[in-house]
Amino acid sequence: MDDLLREFIAETNEHLAVLERDLVALERASDDARLVDDIFRNIHSIKGTCSFLGLKRLESVLHAAESALDKLRDEAMPPASAVTGALLGACDRAKTIVAVLARDGHEPDGGDADVIARLELTMRPSAAVALAPALAMREPPAAEPAAASTIRVNLDTVERLMAQVSELVLARNQLVQMLRGQPDPEAALALQRLSQVTSDLQESVMKTRMQPIGQAWMKLPRMVRDLAHDLGKKIELTFQGGETELDRQVLELVKHPFTHLMRNAADHGIETPVQRRRDGKAETGQVSLSARQEGSAIVITLADDGRGIDPERIRAAIRRGGFANDADLLAMSEHQLLQFIFHPGFTTAARVTNVSGRGVGLDVVRSNVEKIGGTVEVASSVGRGTRFTIKIPLTLAIVPALLLDCRGQRFAIPRTAVAELLRSGPEHRIDWIHGAPVLRLRGSLLPLVALSDVLHLGESLSAGEERLIVIIGYGAQRFGIMVDGVDDAEEIVVKSLAPILRGTRLFAGCAILGDGSVALILDPGALAAAVGTMESAEPARAPTPLLELGSGVRGDGLLLFGAGGETPKALRLASLLRIEEIAPEQIEQIDSKPIMLYRGAALPLHLLGAMPAGERRLVMIAAHEGRMCGFLADAVIDTVDHATMLDPSTTRPGVLGTATVAGRQVEIVDAAHYIRAASARLLAPARGAA
């Protein structure tokens, strides 16, 4: 039996016990409206969970009881003994069903027409009294549920226990540090034992705080049902992985985001049945919610098969809201456009409905998720649906962290955010593009930032210096931060900062380290923002820009790349708009010329040599006089700051000339030539179709 069901049974037994007591009280004090309300609420809350767990018998019995009570509430009909009698009958039947449920894991066979009929009869005032005794219970009330294997503990107790264990972990860490290198084997042994017990205790206490994520979903079926009803839509909700457990504290924090995303899916995502039929889809829209564990994180996806998010509407809304200027809009990928739905105040809804569209919400969803070290990503396809992927840590209490050194001060960063550590050198060179450092790593360029710059801790990095680089993976975004040193890894207990320090946003909190000192915890999300490219992407679904140059870049730098053939090619950085990574199947053919879909238009592609091999292709997107084209490449080789002298004898159509760059011959591509040539065969307006 899964935990969700076990939890439900424990809770329902309690509810039923209270219900029984209240019903008996009601029989004596029949005009107590508050008691009626209590009973109603009690029945309602059990019923809500029933539909979630698919307990049909229980649900129908409780539904009938609810209706009878409703009548009682609305018409202030005095509860004749027959009403409470019928209700008690329903209560007994519910107990019987729950008892079988606890034993077998499923509801017993059979029907409850008798109980329901009796309840319905009470709703006809004249018949109520007369008929009541005629229907006897066929099933005897169940015996008391067997002694439970669970107890309910006050949350405060669990929280206190957790805090104490956290302190114990700290004390243990401190002791380990003090006794490091201690030659006494007895002390070492005792410490090892203490260490083991502490870790076990920590794990056990952590377990007591774990709850199935399905608990946060229980209210959703009812909400979606009501929404579908209000909006005149047909929506089917499916769940998967509801038994996935996560920390209670985390669970509380993500309840609101679920509700919000679900509401969005029902209101904005799923179309009306008429619309769906017109689009050749099933009338009933599908919304699915699933959860699974991935290492120390929980990945939750909410997907609908609705209309998707139209990039054009987003573009229009960005313009309307003044979130970006036209030049920036031009340089944005579809994926970047999508990210705007998380901006505060952003809405594409032309009208505000009762349900959503007020432009509040998704930004709150994102900030709620990021606050606990999680990420939210969105992918959408017009006419096919939208998928939100939320990744959150299993627990917040104790976090494995890496200690970084910057200008003599130590900072902690969650271990989960660190993708790799490396030292810059000939193998991993730091390049400079327009004064900003980038790291060339396995054929892609990663933005770099010096931690000392972000934290305003003094002198910046100068070119050519060898640096330690921590590669951070935040969502799908990767970037490097340069630090002075990397110390130990340590498990830290996250403590919050005083309100006057929260404005910096760079710190997720602080922690007391093993040596008793306090270290600030860097917030990977805030670092990502400091790097300046809030770009996240799902490969294969949306183009991934590897390098964002923005529009209006000036300069005479060159980007060297391999594009099949022996001679490396180079593009002037001034003409390069961006670099995208695409899958081979994204390359299509028109008139046997390769193109790719880019921002809703066809982008002509050029092969400068043989078709690059491999699973991923790079496309260098260049712009000239408002038109664009792409060059297929297999790897970024290098960037150089200044173009060297061109050899004029090597100039030919499409090639500005050959130059010697970094000791080798490269061909500098004349992007303007290709763009002019492409315009003749296929127009790819740089401005989107809008």
Partner 1 sequence: MSDVVTIRVGSEKFAVPVMQVRDVLRRQNATPVPLAPPAVAGLLNLRGRVVTAIDLRLRLGLAPQAAEGDAAHVVVENGGELYALAVDGVGDVLNVDERRLESVALALDARWRAVASAVYPAETGLIVLLDIARLLDIAPVRRAAS
Q: By the criterion CB under 8 A, which residues form the site for partner 1? A: 167, 170, 409, 453-457, 495, 497-501, 503-507, 510, 512, 516-520, 526, 529-530, 532
The residue among 61 and 324 lying less far from partner 1, judged by its C-beta, is 324
Number of Cβ within a 10 Å radius of residue 376: 23
Maximum CA pair distance of the chain?
A: 111
Determine the Cα–Cα distance for residues 366 and 303; give it in Å rounded to an integer.
17
Provide the token pair at 414: 């969650």
Query: Which residue has 């409470």 as its token pair?
Result: 84
DSSP letter string, 189-229: HHHHHHHHHHHHHHHHHHHHTEEEGGGGTTTHHHHHHHHHH
Determine the Cα–Cα distance for residues 116 and 112; give it in Å rounded to an integer.
6
SS3 of residue 248 by DSSP:
helix
* DSSP conformational letter for 568: P
AA identity, residue 350: A
Provide the sign of the torsion angle of the four alpha carbons 537, 538, 544, 546, taken in this order.
Answer: positive
Determine the Cα–Cα distance for residues 336 and 354; give it in Å rounded to an integer.
29
The nearest distance, CB 168 to partner 1, in angstroms, is 10
The residue among 349 and 512 lying less far from partner 1, judged by its C-beta, is 512
Query: Which residue has 């730098």 as its token pair?
Result: 557
290-309 residues labelled b (16+ CB within 10 A) or e (exposed): bbeeeeebbbbbbbbbbbbb
The nearest distance, CB 475 to partner 1, in angstroms, is 17
The nearest distance, CB 517 to partner 1, in angstroms, is 6
Provide the token pair at 366: 């994102």
Q: What is the CA radius of gyration of the chain?
A: 32
The residue among 90 and 451 lying less far from partner 1, judged by its C-beta, is 451
The nearest distance, CB 522 to partner 1, in angstroms, is 10
The nearest distance, CB 489 to partner 1, in angstroms, is 19
Pairing of strands 418-423, 468-474: antiparallel
The residue among 174 and 288 lying less far from partner 1, judged by its C-beta, is 174
The residue among 455 and 560 lying less far from partner 1, judged by its C-beta, is 455
The nearest distance, CB 394 to partner 1, in angstroms, is 24
Cα atoms in the Cβ-side hemisphere of radius 13 Å centred on 119: 24
The residue among 437 and 630 lying less far from partner 1, judged by its C-beta, is 437
Provide the token pair at 403: 């200690």
Spatial CB neighbours of 629, under 8 Å, sequence gap ≥ 6: 603, 604, 605, 606, 621, 622, 671, 674, 675, 678, 684
The residue among 34 and 456 lying less far from partner 1, judged by its C-beta, is 456
The nearest distance, CB 170 to partner 1, in angstroms, is 7
The residue among 170 and 686 lying less far from partner 1, judged by its C-beta, is 170
Query: Which residue has 């209560």 as its token pair?
Result: 91
Q: Which residues pair with 385 in a beta bridge?
A: 381
The residue among 510 and 629 lying less far from partner 1, judged by its C-beta, is 510
The residue among 262 and 455 lying less far from partner 1, judged by its C-beta, is 455
The residue among 236 and 548 lying less far from partner 1, judged by its C-beta, is 548
The nearest distance, CB 176 to partner 1, in angstroms, is 16
Spatial CB neighbours of 482, under 8 Å, sequence gap ≥ 6: 424, 437, 448, 449, 450, 451, 452, 461, 467, 468, 469
The nearest distance, CB 506 to partner 1, in angstroms, is 5
The nearest distance, CB 192 to partner 1, in angstroms, is 24
The nearest distance, CB 363 to partner 1, in angstroms, is 17
